[in-house]
Amino acid sequence: MTDAKNRIDETVKSNDVVLYMKGTKTMPQCGFSSRVAGVLNYMGVDFADVNVLADDAIRQGIKDYSDWPTIPQLYVKGEFVGGCDIITEMTLSGELDQLFDDKGVAYDKDAANKIREANA
């Protein structure tokens, strides 16, 4: 394995929730990353953020690791979940809540419901 792949593998496996994104959870640097980080932050999910703009090897490596061409990428308990469109759909359908429940990830259910109410 390459160094980048080893670092990605270690990060994904040692954190319950990881978002590979452009920018950081407090200062996203693209709209798609901002949307996913915003959902996670609003729902009170404790997640690790990895700024792919800070490391070209990680920026390309995460695409190879997941076989997914775009950033952001969300991982929950070591599993790739998806990018912005998938996370948005899962949030609105309640599937993200179910995934967090199934995986034992803490989040604010009321906040999740408010997101759905605001987008109904």
Contact between 58 and 7 under an 8 Å Cβ cutoff? The reply is yes
Contact between 101 and 43 under an 8 Å Cβ cutoff? The reply is no
Strand partners, 82: 74
Q: How many CB atoms lie within 10 A of CB 71?
A: 21
User: Annotation-wise, does 84 bind a ligand?
Assistant: no
Strand, helix or coil for residue 66: helix
8-state DSSP, 28 = B
Strand partners, 85: none
Residue ranges for the known binding site for [2Fe-2S] cluster are 30
Residue ranges for the known binding site are 30
